Amino acid sequence: MTAACACGGIAAVPASAAEARPDILIHLPTIHCAACIVTAERTLSAAPGVLSARVNMGLKRALVTTDGTASALDLCTRLEAAGLSAQPLDAATLGQGADHAGRDLLMRMGIAGFAMMNVMLLSVAVWSGAAESTRQLFHLISAAITVPAIAYSARPFFDAAWRSLKAGRLGMDVPISLAILLATAMSLAEIVTREGHVWFEAALSLTFFLLVGRYLDQSCRRAARSAAAELSALDVPTATRLGADGPETVPSGALVPGDRIRVLPGQRLPADGVIEEGETDLDRSAMTGETEPAAAAPGDEVRAGETNLTGALVVRVARAGQDTQLARLASLVAVAETARNRHASLADRAGAAYAPLVHLLAAASFAFWWAWGGDAWQALGIAIAVLIITCPCALGLAVPAVSVAASGRLFRAGLLVKSATALERLSEVDTIVFDKTGTLTTGTPAIAAAPGGTALSVARALAEGSDHPAARALARHARDRGAEPATVEARREVPGHGVAGIWGISTVRLGRASFTGAEEDGRSGMWLHIGGSEPERILLKEMLRSGAEDAVAALKANGYRVLMLSGDGALAVADTAQRLGIDEAEGGLSPEDKVARLEGLAAEGRRVLMVGDGLNDTAALAAAHASIAPGTGLDAARSAADVVLLTGSLLAVPEALRVAKAARARMAQNLWLAAGYNAIAIPVALVGLATPLLAALAMSTSSITVSLNALRLSR
């Protein structure tokens, strides 16, 4: 309805729907068919305040243009009601607008492709024997197409070459630009003198193939970047502030010290502060790796990133936004991360070896032919032919084509490759270090041993009164055993301690040792106390993440050294390590200890892959040779990691290593293939027998071979 009004041109609407930018982004993780698209778009368009809505299925995202009155949350509720799961995305995190760089490259590619095809047609006529005025006419037409096309399409190379020259480096873009410019200039001169070869189509096809490589490279990075940004945009942290006029929901970034906030059970603390009201248990595993929740009471300090488990809290904010310990630790990591950006990729190294060689060969052939033949013009022609033939057309495609194929394959396996050199670094790994809590284990406990019979029925009745993860595990355990809840009256939860109630005539308690009158012995668990009898222990164990055992076994079978470094207690670590078959495990480590262990391994000459999810792993993730973080981890961990695990199963880790190795091998193969074509063509060019036809053949066959070889990987 509103959309129709807007189209009708009512003056109150500032811009027509076609001009307005989408201002609300909604993540639609489950859309997969035409019906989903139609449902989503109809639901959104029917909502009040919506001018237009468009689903982008590739990005799994709806772009909604509103008149400013619709709220993202309301739209999501409507979508949920229509049967589609939907979450609002933070438009500010994602960055607005379409992908301009990609579109720009695509346009240059289109122009270069068009010009190349037309000039190639004209050139075929010349090569097959057109002579005299026909030849001259074809050359003139070719020139008229080529010069503007090159001026527009090859701009990215010219700009990059200019930048690298100013920085005093000799990158790959310099010989590329030189070859394109010299070939064009030389051909123009040949038209005037009416002799020799004309290289227009060589210059154009060089531009075109290299643009294809650039585009692949760019689109691969963009896909990873946007998916990573989406992960961050999904959990926009909000907080409930207790203001002068009642509670209000504000973004966590808007909190200031002195604010009072309410944190309900199940919520993550949005800022550092001190508890004013309420008692609870806090899950600190994301910060320290400890699985055992810590009790907290008024006056205790709490930190951003901890999860409130059992009781509602009122917290007075002490530090918020960028000042929280979480944010400061995360920014430390961002600084450390730049060290890894120095990794020289295979393409860089190939380029560094190649660029001087190309210049040297061209210069040498010019010098030789000038000295020997005495004809500078002919010598220049041969030098340009050498430059064109050696120019790394296939070299520009060799690595990006493999990256695209491998990243696509990993994405289907549930892995998001974030960094450009991640594949190469993954392929070099020989040691794998796992974090425990949240990585190898899910962080939710299960029951290892519990009393049976009536005790279990009482325990179930008590456990159902709490949201504490251990209590929930116990309730699930009792339900599975078929124990009906006993009739427990006056049940109350004492946050931070346990649950108490009255069963028949006796008092019953479930919870910490101190709460039930038992002796604390340091092992994780809880106690059940019935009436006058001795408290009974209920032992907890950790639930392993799905595929953890198989993944560790597969890694060990493939000859990797597998270690576990955890911030949790030594007993819990030893237990998990034994269940998974990891021989080297260490517990009680601080984040600094973890980094020190990784540095120790690096000093032994090991290339370490770190897999971890918490803040205490973040520094280690950044320090390792390569790193993987589960998508369920903290934002800081995900942004420090090279690869994000989107599926729940750890089996994706050995798969990632396998694909990375295959990709690395394929890249090297491609570079050798490209070099092989050059090895055949360069001698021909050096002796002055190269023709534009030969150049065109060598360039297209090598580019196509390299692309097809890369594509084999995606199956």
Partner 1 sequence: MNILAFLIPVSLILGGLGLLAFVWSLRAAQYEDLEGARHRILSDDHDDAPMR
Measured in whole angstroms, the distance separating CA 443 from the mean position of its chain's CA atoms is 23
CB of 110 to partner 1, least distance (A): 5
Q: Which is nearer to partner 1, 108 or 638 (CB)?
A: 108
Q: Buried (b) or exposed (e) across 634-650, using 16+ Cβ within 10 A? A: bbbbbbbbbbbbbeebb
Instruction: Determine the straight-line distance between the first and last CA of the chain, rounded to whole angstroms.
Output: 47
Among 46, 56, 227, 688, binds partner 1 (CB under 8 A): 56
Nearer to partner 1, 103 or 712 (CB): 103
Between residues 39 and 238, which has the closer beta carbon with respect to partner 1?
A: 39
Which candidate in 259, 272, 281, 435 is catalytic? 435
CB 114 → partner 1: shortest distance, Å?
5
**Which residue, 137 or 344, is less far from partner 1 as judged by CB?**
137
Segment interacting with partner 1 (CB under 8 A) among 79-87, 109-117, 154-162, 366-374: 109-117
Question: Which of 3, 7, 57, 181 touches partner 1 (CB under 8 A)?
Answer: 57
Residue 183 Cβ vs partner 1, minimum distance, rounded to whole Å: 22
Nearest residue (CB) to partner 1, 114 versus 377: 114
Q: Within its chain, how far is the Cα of 488 from the centroid?
A: 50
And the tokens for 497? 């301690």
Question: Angle of helix 652-686 relative to helix 376-390, nearest 10 degrees?
Answer: 160
* Structure-token pair, residue 431: 């040691």
For position 15 contacting partner 1 by CB under 8 A, the verdict is no
Interface pick for partner 1 out of 82, 106, 297, 574 (rule CB under 8 A): 106
Between CA 303 and CA 694 the distance in angstroms is 68
Of 132 and 521, which CB lies nearer to partner 1 in the complex structure? Answer: 132
CB-CB contact of 45 with 80 (8 Å): no
* Near partner 1 by CB under 8 A: residue from 10, 12, 34, 244: 34
Sign of the four-CA dihedral 325, 327, 331, 334 = positive
Is the CB of 48 or the CB of 110 nearer to partner 1?
A: 110
Q: Tell me which stretch binds partner 1 (CB under 8 A): 111-119, 452-460, 483-491, 670-678.
A: 111-119
Q: Give the shortest CB-21-to-partner 1 separation in angstroms.
A: 9
Q: Write out the binding residues for partner 1, residues 84-103 only, by CB under 8 A.
A: 98, 103
Q: Which stretch binds partner 1 (CB under 8 A): 50-58, 78-86, 465-473, 504-512?
A: 50-58
Stretch that binds partner 1, among 53-61, 404-412, 483-491, 582-590 (CB under 8 A): 53-61
- Stretch of residues binding partner 1 (CB under 8 A), selected from 57-65, 77-85, 293-301, 555-563: 57-65
Q: Does 59 bind partner 1 (CB under 8 A)?
A: yes
Q: In whole angstroms, how far apart are CA 139 and each of 154, 182, 195, 632?
A: 21, 17, 11, 61
Smallest distance from partner 1 to CB 52, Å: 7
Q: Which stretch binds partner 1 (CB under 8 A): 107-115, 344-352, 380-388, 562-570?
A: 107-115
**Cα 353 from chain centroid (whole Å):** 31
Residue partners of 625: CB distance under 8 A and separation at least 6: 425, 428, 429, 602, 607, 608, 609
Q: Is 117 among the residues that bind partner 1 (CB under 8 A)?
A: yes
CB of 142 to partner 1, least distance (A): 11
For partner 1, the closer CB: 108 or 303: 108
Question: Contacting partner 1 (CB under 8 A), which of 48, 110, 247, 504?
Answer: 110
Which range touches partner 1 (CB under 8 A), out of 30-38, 277-285, 349-357, 364-372? 30-38
Judge whether 128 and 138 are in contact, CB under 8 Å.
no
Q: Is 435 a catalytic residue?
A: yes
Angle between helices 132-153 and 200-234 (to 10 degrees): 20
The CB-of-18 to partner 1 minimum distance in angstroms stands at: 8
- Binding-site member from 4, 11, 12, 33 for partner 1 (CB under 8 A): 33
- Output 136 or 345, the one with its CB closest to partner 1: 136
Of 2, 6, 22, 577, the one binding partner 1 by CB under 8 A: 22
Sequence-separated contacts (24+) of 153-162 with Cβ below 8 Å: 153/108, 153/109, 153/111, 153/112, 153/115, 153/204, 153/207, 153/208, 153/211, 154/112, 154/180, 154/207, 155/108, 156/105, 156/108, 156/211, 156/214, 157/207, 157/210
Q: Which of 402, 359, 388, 398 is nearest to 205 (CA)?
A: 388
* Gap between the Cα atoms of 359 and 383, Å rounded: 9
Sheet harboring 561-565: ordered strands across? Answer: 415-417, 643-645, 626-630, 608-611, 431-434, 561-565, 584-586
E strands, 436-535, are 441-449, 488-494, 498-503, 506-511, 525-530
Which pair of tokens denotes residue 554? Answer: 């597969």
Q: Residue 47 or 611: which CB sits closer to partner 1?
A: 47
Residues ≥6 apart with Cβ < 8 Å to 570: 587, 588
User: Where do the DSSP E strands lie in 579-658?
Assistant: 584-586, 608-611, 626-630, 643-645
Say how many residues touch partner 1, by CB under 8 A: 28
Contact predicate 692/197, CB 8 Å: yes
- What minimum distance in Å lies between the beta carbon of 146 and partner 1? 13
**Which of residues 22 and 175 has its CB atom nearest to partner 1 in the complex?**
22
Candidates 49, 54, 136, 502; binder of partner 1 (CB under 8 A) is 54
Least Å distance between CB 57 and partner 1?
3
* Interface pattern 118-147 for partner 1 (x via CB under 8 A): x--x------------x--x---x------
- If one asks whether residue 37 binds partner 1 (CB under 8 A), the answer comes out as yes
Distance between CA 43 and CA 46 in Å, rounded? 5
Phi, psi of 515 (to 5 degrees): -75, -30
Least separation, in Å, of the C-beta of 48 and partner 1?
Answer: 20
Question: Taking the complex as a whole, how short is the minimal distance between the CB of residue 697 and partner 1, in angstroms?
Answer: 23
Distance (Å, whole) CA 71 – CA 77? 10
Tell me whether residue 57 or residue 236 sits nearer to partner 1 (CB atom): 57
Give the Cα separation of 437 and 457 in Å (integer).
Answer: 30
Shortest Cβ 3–partner 1 spacing (Å): 12
Question: What amino acid positions are annotated as catalytic residues?
Answer: 435
For binding to partner 1 (CB under 8 A), which residues are involved? 22, 33-35, 37-38, 52, 54-59, 63, 65, 98, 103, 106-107, 110-111, 114, 117-118, 121, 134, 137, 141
